[in-house]
Each structure stands twice: as C-alpha cells, then as structure tokens.
Amino acid sequence: MFITRIVLAARKFRQWFLAQITFGFLNLLKLLPADPAIRFADWLVRKIGPITGRHKLMLVNLANAFPEKTEEERLDIALASWGHMGRLAAEYVFLDRLFDFDPEAKTAGRIEVSGIPIFLDLRDNPRPFIVFTAHTGNFELLPVAGSAFGLNVTVMFRPPNNPYIAEKVFNFRSARMGKLVPSHAGSSFALARQLEAGKGIGVLVDQKFQKGLMTNFFGNPVQTNPLLAKLVRQFDCEVYPARCIRLPNNRYRLEIEPRIDIPRTSTGAIDVQATGQLLNDKVESWVRQHPEQWLWYHDRWNIKHSIKR
C-alpha cells in the first residue's frame, strides 16, 4: 500500500510538472504578438517533434496512407504536421483575437467563412442537427464560430490525459465555445438530451474507438464510433460536415457543407455500418487535400503497439 501511494504521488507530480512546463511555454507566447508567436511555435515543434517516439508512428501512418508518395514527400508532410501542432498550441493563447469574422466588414480579416446561409438557417429555424468535423486545421475555431453565429450547439470533446491541463482547457473552451460534454461513459446520453430538446451537437469523428465499427480509412481497417449513426437513427436529425483550413499568413477558412444524406438499408432504417464508412470517406477527402493539417501522430489505426522502438 505504501509503495502504491508513492507511485501514485510520483505520477501526480509528473503530471503537474509537465502541466507547469506547458503553461509556462504558453505564457511566454503571450508576450509576443500573435503572428510571431504562431510562427515560433511552428518552428519549435518542427524541431522537437521528430525526436519524440510519436514521430515513428507518424511516418508509419503516412506510409500506410500514402504508399504512392516517396519517403521524402512523407517526411515533408510529417514535419509540416508537427508545425501545425505547434501552431494549434499557440493559437489557443490568441483564440479570442484570431476569430475576427465580421459579415459586415468590407475588408477580409483572418477568418473567412463558407456556408453562411447554412449557419443562419440552423440558427433561425431551430431543429435537432449534428455537425461533425475532424482534427484538421484549427478545429477549435468551429465551435467558436457556431457561438458567434448564435447557434445553440453542445460540443463533445476528449479531455487531455493530464488532469491539470484538462481543467485549464475545459475552462478555456467553456468560456468561448458554448456547452461542452467531455467524452466519457454517459456522454452519449447528454448529447441525446440536447437533440431531444431540438438543439444541435458537434462531434469529432476521426478518433480511435475501441470496439467500434470495422471500417476503412485510407484503405486500411479502423474502428469507428457508431454514435453519430445511432443518434440519427433515434432522432432523425440532419447531419452537416464542417472543417477548418489553415491559409497562408495565419489566416483560416471555416467551412460548413450542405447536409449529407445518411445511408439507409432496404427497409429504410439507418445503415449504421455504411454511415461510419461515409464519415471516414468524408474525412479522408479532407485530409488528402491538406495532409499536413491532420494530426498524424494520433494512433488512428491502432498500430502503435506493433511498432518497434
């Protein structure tokens, strides 16, 4: 029992220490203007990322997804992906200043929005709906945009594993992104209650999900969360794809696409398996357009355990 307490205390201290390093880095970035800070974070993480254990996983993921590309091309994507992760961290610090979209403005700001009529229709004609996205660009800007357009959307997110960082992130997101539901047991019921009340929800659909639907992503088998399909089956709600694309000079384009038709069986029921594949196909099309803007270090194909150190 004594040894267990020591191990738990050491783990807790390690998490606290790593959190303080993270907070210290972000506080340093606050001392800089947004553009230099974002560029510096890009440069720094490009240097640090390749010496971490996740870099090997990233290269294997890229080789499996893009066998037609050369090793040099895949390495370029990997380095750019690390840079985009650095940008994502820095953008947290300046999120309030980055979102400057004004539909009445005559000059373009950092943010441009595609699909404004859809935003306005969802706002002005309340009904249950689901918006899904993936870890592309700065996906955190999408719920900020929804809040700015006055949409009543509840967003499900996966908290960081570090509890100290998770608390900070939750408080930060809550102040800017509307109602949040951490991804854990029972979160599906919270989302269902929102749809039952005629409101909208937002979900990420490119995460690994143990015991999920067996589907394909870039031609390789993955497990996909069936939650979206099951919610559509229960509430017959509309489904909209949305994404963020990073543009040159620290600008961003937020896109919400027209609603998609959910596959059905010959009896008219929602085809849960086909819906899971449809989501993967949509995300894959996004990633193929901007492969460097997706988080390749994520173990989407559940292969990390098989990679030799």
Q: Is 54 in the same domain as 177?
A: no
Same domain, 90 and 107: no
Give yes or no: residues 131 and 244 share one domain: yes
**What is the per-residue pLDDT across 216-262, written as a single tens digit (0 to 9) for each?**
999 999 999 999 999 999 999 999 999 999 999 999 999 999 999 99
- Is 298 contained in some domain? no
Q: What pLDDT is attached to residue 159?
A: 62
Q: Is 187's pLDDT higher than 90?
A: no
Residue 309 in this model has a pLDDT that exceeds 60: no
Percent of the chain at pLDDT exceeding 70: 83
- Predicted pLDDT at 1: 62
Are 274 and 152 in the same domain? yes
Q: What is the DSSP string of 221-278?
A: EEEE--HHHHHHHHH--EEEEEEEEEETTTEEEEEEPPPPPPPB-TTS-B-HHHHHHH
Last residue of a domain, one of 39, 66, 94: 94
For residues 229 and 246, membership in a common domain is answered with yes
Work out the average pLDDT over 201-212. Answer: 87
Structural domain including 231 reads: 102-293
115, 38: one domain: no
What's the pLDDT tens digit per position in 108-164? 788 999 999 999 999 999 999 999 999 999 988 888 888 888 887 887 766 666 666
Integer angstrom CA distances of residue 85 from 110, 209, 251, 299:
19, 22, 16, 15
Which DSSP string corresponds to 176-196?
A: HHSEEEESSTTHHHHHHHHHH
Q: What's the rounded Cα separation, in Å, for the pair 116 and 299?
A: 34
- The burial class, CB within 10 Å (0-12 / 13-18 / 19+), for 32 is middle
Q: Which of 51, 71, 94 is the last residue of a domain?
A: 94
Average pLDDT over the chain reads: 86
Same domain, 30 and 137: no
Q: CA-CA distance, 232 to 128, in Å (whole number)?
A: 10
| 191 in the same domain as 138 | yes
Residue 165 has pLDDT above 80, yes or no: no
State both tokens at 308. 């030799």
- pTM to 2 decimal places: 0.88
How many structural domains are present in the chain?
2
What are the percentages of helix, strand and coil residues in the chain, rounded to 5?
A: 50, 15, 30
Burial 87-115 (b: 16+ CB within 10 A, else e): bbbbbbbbbeebbebeeeeeeeebbebeb
Model pLDDT, residue 109? 83
Q: Which of 260, 263, 257, 193 is nearest to 231 (CA)?
A: 193
pLDDT tops 70 at residue 192? yes
**pLDDT (tens digit, 9 = 90+) per residue, 250-306?**
999 999 999 999 999 999 999 999 999 999 999 999 999 999 999 999 889 988 777
